[in-house]
């Protein structure tokens, strides 16, 4: 069976108020001339066990005077590679030359990993740029260089990396580290201090449970003094499914939507019933903003985003769940309004770490790495490839990039942005390694979203009880899942993706 993994991410957004260019990360190997001998374990060995070279067999990179050396890397484009990484590396290693293989070559119809493997075979890149799913698959197939030997030989400081990044990459590598990521994605709970002060509601605190946060949201009136709607909690900018919040809370409590085989929905547990009831009541009482897609298809391959649809930015929501995008949008609006540098909203705001489960207070399911650099195990430039990878994850490089980066950097000591704002709330929680985004038959995500929206809408309008609405979702979605089970194509079940 030809199983196609479909990974959908945020599309390009072009708007009169803000232009958000979201690059798709993909990436993705033959026998090296200077590689340590690895005859004990060829890639994709039947046993699945990869035997790695001892550290004393590793050959560190040494530049040869007057000799140019070419390194083939995978990246979004040649121009963006030189801007983001290449120019700084060449300042240290002028003997190096780059050939960039565009990530777009790995995309298209058919099996995602097969497409990637075809590009590896044709271009033999030395340095790969991978997303999490590709990293996990290629590591399991023996296509990536185990970094244990080069790390120990070069003395690379992994202790200075954000622990959660190393933990996640090691777990996805089956217990071995095959790549590094210069940045990661996580979320925080933003809150409008001005609204909390106005209505005498205590600020949210680190370590709060989801139920405690929803109780705070209930304490705000449903309209402000100007008669405009007022909400306690606004969901992330790109949320389009009213069931997404239930998924967030369930994931924090380690509740699975599907059984391990991906064949049966598990929405009949008491935990799911409790969460669904909380979310529906929050929508019904207007404590939680019922999501509406902020995007419009322009018909030319782009979509428009109106920031006027973001009620947290407008001061009409007391709290919001979001990543760094919210902060960047507030900065953009401040720039358009001509406000002083450092000011980013018309109200005082702050953040706290994401709500957690009391049973697992130190972890979150909303910690991801998307841009993972790895070395092709079959590269004939292993030592130079590692030289590049370790440099772009070094303290020196991140010190330079921190001055202009809008990302969460994967090395400790950079928990402030370029404006000097404290970002430690985004760093506070580690990834929950027990939770994974489930794979479902292609098209099931959209069908589930439609089913859930009907049920929640009917529950809010009292056309169904919450128990009846959840039973409707479970039964109708199970029928859809059963009907699609024979499809070989799979996609991530992520309700805030595939926006159009």
Q: Tell me: the pLDDT tens digits for 69-89?
A: 999 999 999 999 999 999 999
Query: Which of 242, 132, 249 is closest to 189 using CA atoms?
Result: 249
Q: Does residue 492 sit within a domain?
A: no
> Does residue 106 sit in the same domain as residue 177?
yes
> Does residue 133 sit in the same domain as residue 280?
no
> Does residue 30 sit in the same domain as residue 165?
yes
Q: Name the 3-class secondary structure at 354.
A: coil
Q: Is the pLDDT of residue 234 over 50?
A: yes
> Does residue 267 sit in the same domain as residue 345?
yes
Higher pLDDT, 2 or 461: 461
Q: Is the pLDDT of residue 397 over 70?
A: yes
CB distance 458 to 499 below 8 Å: no
Q: Does residue 449 sit within a domain?
A: no
Q: For the chain, give the number of residues.
A: 500
> Does residue 176 sit in the same domain as residue 225?
no
Cα 492 from Cα 485, distance rounded (Å): 15
The residue from 414, 431, 448 where one domain ends is 431
Residue 105 pLDDT level (bands cut at 50, 70, 90): confident
- Convert the pLDDT of each residue in 209-226 to its tens digit: 999 999 999 999 999 989
Give the pLDDT confidence score for residue 58 in this predicted structure. 86
Query: Which of 169, 187, 163 is closest to 364 using CA atoms?
Result: 187
Q: Does residue 180 sit within a domain?
A: yes
> Does residue 357 sit in the same domain as residue 382?
no
> Does residue 180 sit in the same domain as residue 207?
no
Q: Does residue 302 sit within a domain?
A: yes
> Does residue 213 sit in the same domain as residue 164?
no
Largest CA distance in the chain: 78
Report, in this order, helix, strand and coil percent for the chain, each rounded to 5: 35, 20, 50
Average pLDDT over residues 326-351: 73
Least reliable range by pLDDT among 14-18, 201-205, 321-325, 430-434: 14-18
CB distance 47 to 126 below 8 Å: no
Q: Provide the number of structural domains found in the chain.
A: 2
Tokens of 425: 């709330």
Using alpha carbons, list the distances in angstroms from residue 66 to 69, 93, 94, 101: 10, 12, 10, 26
Q: Name the 3-class secondary structure at 74.
A: strand
Q: Is the pLDDT of residue 343 over 90?
A: no
Q: Does residue 374 sit within a domain?
A: yes
Residue 390 pLDDT level (bands cut at 50, 70, 90): very high
- Convert the pLDDT of each residue in 439-455 to its tens digit: 788 889 899 999 999 99
Q: Does residue 468 sit within a domain?
A: no
The residue from 309, 330, 363 where one domain ends is 363
Q: Does residue 421 sit within a domain?
A: yes
Give the pLDDT confidence score for residue 111 in this predicted structure. 62
Q: Is the pLDDT of residue 301 over 90?
A: no
Domain that holds residue 372: 4-37+53-185+367-431
> Does residue 314 sit in the same domain as residue 383?
no
> Does residue 138 sit in the same domain as residue 271?
no
Q: Where are the alpha helices (DSSP H) in 253-321?
A: 270-284
> Does residue 301 sit in the same domain as residue 206?
yes
Give the pLDDT confidence score for residue 24 in this predicted structure. 29
Give the pLDDT confidence score for residue 306 in this predicted structure. 55
Average pLDDT over residues 180-200: 96
Cα 347 from Cα 404, distance rounded (Å): 25
Tokens of 485: 């089970």
Q: Is the pLDDT of residue 113 over 70?
A: yes
Least reliable range by pLDDT among 28-42, 237-251, 395-409: 28-42
The residue from 406, 431, 456 where one domain ends is 431
Mean pLDDT of the chain: 84
The percentage of residues in the chain with a pLDDT greater than 90, rounded to a whole number, is 61
Give the pLDDT confidence score for residue 335 in this predicted structure. 66
Residue 339 pLDDT level (bands cut at 50, 70, 90): low
Q: Does residue 475 sit within a domain?
A: no
Tokens of 311: 């009620």
CB distance 456 to 283 below 8 Å: yes
> Does residue 20 sit in the same domain as residue 124?
yes
Give the pLDDT confidence score for residue 29 in this predicted structure. 36
Q: What is the CATH number of the domain that holds 18?
A: 3.40.190.10
Higher pLDDT, 496 or 312: 312
Give the pLDDT confidence score for residue 56 in this predicted structure. 57
CB distance 243 to 265 below 8 Å: no
CB distance 71 to 127 below 8 Å: yes
* Residue burial 404-435, b: 16+ Cβ < 10 Å; e: rest: ebebbbbbeebbebeeeeebebbbbbbbbeeb
């Amino acid at each position: 069976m030809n199983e196609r993994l479909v990974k959908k991410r945020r599309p390009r957004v072009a708007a009169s108020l803000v232009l958000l260019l979201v690059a798709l990360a993909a990436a993705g190997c033959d026998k090296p001339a200077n590689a340590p001998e690895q005859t004990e374990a060829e890639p994709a060995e039947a046993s699945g066990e990869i035997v790695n070279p001892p550290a004393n067999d590793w050959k560190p990179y040494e530049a040869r005077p007057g000799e140019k050396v070419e390194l083939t890397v995978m990246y979004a484009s040649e121009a963006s590679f030189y801007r983001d990484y290449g120019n700084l590396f060449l300042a240290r290693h002028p003997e190096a030359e780059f050939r960039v293989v565009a990530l777009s070559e790995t995309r298209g119809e058919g099996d995602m990993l097969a497409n990637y493997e075809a590009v590896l075979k044709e271009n033999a890149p030395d340095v790969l740029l991978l997303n999490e799913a590709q990293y996990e698959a290629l590591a399991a197939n023996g296509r990536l260089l185990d970094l244990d030997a080069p790390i120990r030989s070069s003395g690379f400081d992994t202790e200075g990396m954000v622990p959660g990044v190393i933990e996640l990459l090691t777990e996805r590598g089956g217990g071995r580290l095959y790549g590094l990521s210069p940045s990661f994605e996580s979320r925080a709970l933003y809150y409008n201090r001005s609204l909390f002060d106005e209505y005498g509601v205590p600020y949210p605190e680190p370590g709060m449970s989801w139920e405690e946060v929803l109780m705070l949201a209930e304490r705000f009136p449903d309209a402000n003094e100007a008669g405009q709607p007022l909400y306690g909690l606004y969901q992330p900018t790109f949320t389009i499914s009213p069931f997404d919040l239930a998924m967030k809370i369930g994931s924090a409590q380690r509740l699975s939507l599907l059984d391990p085989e991906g064949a049966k929905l598990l929405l009949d547990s008491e935990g799911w019933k409790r969460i669904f009831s909380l979310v529906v009541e929050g929508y019904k009482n207007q404590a939680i903003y019922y999501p509406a897609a902020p995007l419009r298809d322009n018909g030319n391959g782009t979509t428009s985003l109106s920031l006027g649809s973001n009620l947290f930015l407008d001061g009409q929501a007391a709290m919001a769940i979001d990543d760094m995008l919210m902060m960047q949008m507030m900065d953009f609006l401040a720039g358009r309004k001509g406000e002083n540098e450092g000011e980013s909203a018309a109200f005082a705001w702050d953040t706290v770490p994401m709500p957690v489960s009391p049973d697992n207070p130190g972890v979150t399911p909303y910690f991801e790495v998307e841009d993972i650099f790895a070395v092709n195990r079959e590269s004939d430039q292993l030592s130079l490839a590692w030289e590049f990878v370790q440099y772009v994850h070094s303290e020196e490089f991140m010190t330079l990039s921190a001055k202009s980066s809008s990302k969460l950097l994967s090395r400790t000591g950079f928990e402030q942005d370029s404006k000097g704002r404290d970002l430690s709330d985004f760093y506070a929680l580690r990834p929950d390694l027990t939770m994974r985004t489930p794979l479902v038959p292609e098209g099931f995500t959209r069908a589930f979203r439609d089913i859930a929206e009907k049920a929640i809408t009917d529950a809010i309008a009292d056309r169904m009880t919450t128990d009846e609405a959840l039973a409707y979702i479970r039964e109708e979605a199970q029928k859809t899942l059963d009907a699609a089970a024979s499809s070989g194509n799979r996609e991530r079940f992520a309700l805030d993706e595939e926006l159009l």
